[in-house]
Chains A and B, each alone.
Chain A
């Protein structure tokens, strides 16, 4: 709730303007029946057409004013609530972009999506709702109650009883509803998770004939969501008729007690009964808005959860080097030194560390090969350099400075990554490549693409660099995606280039050409290249051989061939096979 009000506070002016016009609207609404009564009493009863017209015009004028008030109120209320929800969505999105992977994993991507769209909409409905009835309901309710008490003071105890019961009912409604709506949103998360998983695994689903299984999974999630929806709406199905009944009971009591009154009180009795209906009407409005409030509170709790999330990583103290980083970048992209000092890291919830006691150094401009069995920690190792994760022990220095002390943006500015799984985005090829360098000219794009051996196939497309890619670059082959992802990293002209097995889907000839291109054009970059193929790392300046998260060998190809058992085994499996053995 606090969250919602903090957003409303930012729009105080238009919020209160809306309330002002709501006041006009409410006033007009209250006045109208009076003039309608005048028309009947003074005009029609007297058969005085002039009076009818006179009061009619006044009434029309009031109605027009009321309409004006309502329209203006609506415009302000809508703008305010939409503006607030827009800001909220942006704030969540900004927050999410700044979160680390640990945070994202904890919140679950599908749930984040629900929160940005659905939860914010719930809050928006509520805010819009308050501006519609905030004054109306209380004024009508309090006014009517005051009039009842004034007209028939002996009814005070009864009024108190009725109000107490009503508010208890409303309170109970909110209390029970809150938990139910919270659960409803969780079920929506689940629904989103299932559909997202289905969409991203569509090929596997089809290949394994998993359609029925997916439909079942989806049906379950949708069923749970429907059940949660039923049970949440049923809360108000129970309570709102009860509130009606309570107020109606009040009317009955009023009438019952009236038996003993003399007939002079009849007018007051009529009035009281009428006001009672007004109370009923406004309590109905209150309980309606409180229902949306309950939903909004449940949703705002979820939004707050995201906004409160503290990124697992914080920027270093030394913010100043953002500028120098760029300047260096412009001065011919000298490679940076990368040094690991006794680094140990384990993933959250993992039993054993992924890498243990790693120390090595890659000199500026050096090409370092990294090889080792599946799951030995190669990717983990390089992911620590751009601080996708933070080490638990030891430290990593880039350019002689601990990565934790650096400004994150300037650190990542220095590093280019081409990952195993080439992640491309919806948009044209050129747009995807320009991720590396926003203002790159087409020539620069093509130069980078040529090094990555991507220019040929791109220009082969009818639309060339303007070819649209689907999400994840689905319309390209695995090798094509990898080459684009490499070109994207190259375009950034990084000081440290990390190639995480990013040529695995390339055929040998293309790969050789790519590596040759890199040697020629990226001579001054520090390159860390991970591969399963010995032929890829063989020509690196030095090679790091990992096994079970530990270094088993570090040196040139020759040195490792002599001293490192793991390396020898890998060599034997690939090249040794027939020729040597």
Chain B
């Protein structure tokens, strides 16, 4: 059965369920009432046949049945009310718990370090936020209240059966044992396949998301066929494991039915023998047989629910996998607040690698005075962006330390630290909201004037006003309707608006034409006056007037000084400068 299947480790179901319980703590308000209502439904399920029987008896003898009929009507009405209330409130309680789990997962996700996101497909993570949690959801709302009803029924019937005949009750328990055995066998399989199914669904989601995100390249390279066949492969895999999970689940009910019938026959035979010997009365046998049927049915239903739990567990385990990831390091106890830093930055023997085995920065030491205009240049892959990633604490150094205003970055509160930087990243991510909302991202309290001023500084005001709805234009998918250069202008405006003491521009203007760039630069000089700014750029013409130019090569700073000093040095910088200016 296992051949060719990915090995899915069946994890501890009990722990997962317990954890789920723990997770929904405080969110289960009202669940007690639902349980109570469930008890009521089991009451009416037991009572109404009894009363009908009484009525029939009385009809037979010609007695008046009005009162009993009224009683029956009352039971049916209350049954209706109870069922309605039970379903009605279970809907909101179930959804509330699910909402809580979903929000918990997201809250966790947003605190995870970048390294986590860098190694996973977006679609796969999306699948966890939706599909996996939905799986938990359907189980919770469908099964929880039923379980209660079944338990009540079992206990009730068991009491009656024991009173009728303890010996025969023991016989009835044989089938319970068989049911347990069967359930265990079936669920060990379904658990594995449900887990595989959720994983396969995640993979599929990942592929769909990625191919839509990169559709232009898919088309340009005519990769449709390849992707299609890859998709068909993954799709077939999903189909295969899902089919297996379903088929195994499907064994449960029919076999259970056989066991129940076997049980019925067994009780009938044994009681028949006993009756023949005169040990018990015939009437007792028929009613005992009736109850034994009632007794085993809830077990079947519970087994079924237990099987459904496997899907929920498969989903929950994937959720917990993320909840168990290590978050970005917490602020140290008594972390410093960072209010209006001066902006002095010191790198002391900083060593860092995304994979510690492969350092990207090797022993970088540099002192940046407050208010300095610094430019970082160097060939691609030299570690420039990494330099920024460390400064903003997207990643933490492996060795050495980075000081801001004389204190280690790790001593500050993370939120304060990030507020201290206005960053324009290479990655021009914009949100699918209005331009206004995009510009005010991270600074909702900005006024209209401040926003427009920032847009003007970034040279974005002009093209924004030309858009049909101006600042209220809603951007599609990450600003697809804008050119790359325009997207960069928006991200610059966004950083300008944060009014942060330290401005970091990572290749911020690479796709902006040089005339615009110069305009931006002049405006920026104005606002960065007195502030520390760090610029990564390839067009050396744009960074000539920096106070300090750092030339990085293979993770180290090889030349530093201002433009004149470096030109005089006649080293690599001078060579680069000459190549560019032709």
Contact = CB atoms under 8 A, between A and B. Distances in A.
B423 A60 contact: no
Contact of B106 (A128, A213, A215, A508): A215
B96 interface: yes
B418 interface: yes
Given A97-B228, A226-B99, A507-B377, A470 B120 contact: yes
A504 B432 contact: no
A412 B215 CA distance: 14
A48 B238 contact: no
Contacts of B95: 226-227, 229-230, 233
**Interface residue tally on A, bucketed by range:** 35 or more
A469 B90 CA distance: 45
Interface string A250-276: 011001101101010010011001000
B84 A215 contact: no
Contacts of B219: 386, 388, 412
Interface in B83-122: 83-84, 87-88, 90-92, 94-96, 98-99, 102-103, 106-107, 109-111, 114, 117-122
Given A201-B431, A233-B91, A573-B517, A116 B224 contact: no
Nearest to A63: B261
A118 B129 CA distance: 12
Nearest to B96: A226
Interface in B221-238: 221-224, 226-228, 231-232, 235-236, 238
Contacts of B425: 203-204, 207
Contact of A252 (B76, B209, B211, B484): B76
A415 B220 CA distance: 7
Contacts of B90: 237
A308 B470 CA distance: 34
B99 A223 contact: yes
B141 A233 contact: yes
Interface in B524-582: 538-541, 544, 575-577, 579-582
A245 interface: yes
B511 to A, nearest CB: 6
A40 B282 CA distance: 9
B20 to A, nearest CB: 17
Q: Which of B231, B253, B257, B514 has the most chain A CB within a 10 Å cutoff?
A: B514
Interface string B482-522: 11111011010010001000000001001111111110000
Interface string A212-229: 011100110011011101
Contact of B243 (A25, A43, A82, A261): A82
A374 B478 contact: no
B246 A570 contact: no
Given A208-B423, A218-B106, A412 B380 contact: no
B56 interface: yes
B441 interface: yes
Given A234-B88, A350-B481, A208 B251 contact: no
Interface stretch (A135-143, A155-163, A391-399, A476-484): A476-484
Is chain B's interface secondary structure helix, strand, loop, or mixed overall?
helix
Contact of A570 (B91, B114, B122, B514): B514
Contacts of B257: 63, 66-67, 70
A575 interface: yes
A162 to B, nearest CB: 13
B381 A43 contact: no
Interface string A353-389: 0000000000000000001111110111000001010
A173 interface: no
Contacts of A219: 103, 106
Interface string B73-87: 100110111011001
A140 B107 CA distance: 50
Interface in B112-148: 114, 117-123, 125-127, 129-131, 134, 137, 141
B239 A86 contact: yes
Interface string A559-581: 00000000001100111011100
Contacts of A499: none
Interface string B44-83: 0000000010011001111001000100110011011101
Contacts of B498: 208
A509 B581 contact: no
B39 interface: no
Contacts of B73: 252
A480 B380 contact: yes
Contacts of B442: 208-210, 213
A414 to B, nearest CB: 10
B76 A249 contact: yes
Interface string A56-76: 110110011011111100110
Interface string A172-207: 000000000000000010011101111111111111
Contacts of A421: 484
Contacts of A89: 204, 235
Contacts of B512: 374, 532
Given A218-B103, A435-B217, A510-B379, A575 B582 contact: yes
A478 B507 contact: yes
A193 B220 contact: no
A55 B55 CA distance: 32
17 contacts: A44-B282, A89-B235, A206-B392, A209-B419, A222-B103, A226-B98, A255-B52, A266-B56, A270-B56, A412-B220, A417-B217, A423-B217, A472-B213, A474-B117, A482-B380, A508-B538, A574-B581
Given A112-B212, A219-B106, A438-B226, 9 more contacts: A43-B268, A44-B285, A56-B264, A118-B130, A196-B122, A213-B441, A222-B106, A249-B76, A349-B481
**A-B complex: 10 closest residue pairs judged by Cβ atoms:** A479-B380, A74-B250, A374-B485, A208-B442, A237-B87, A56-B265, A70-B254, A201-B429, A67-B254, A504-B510
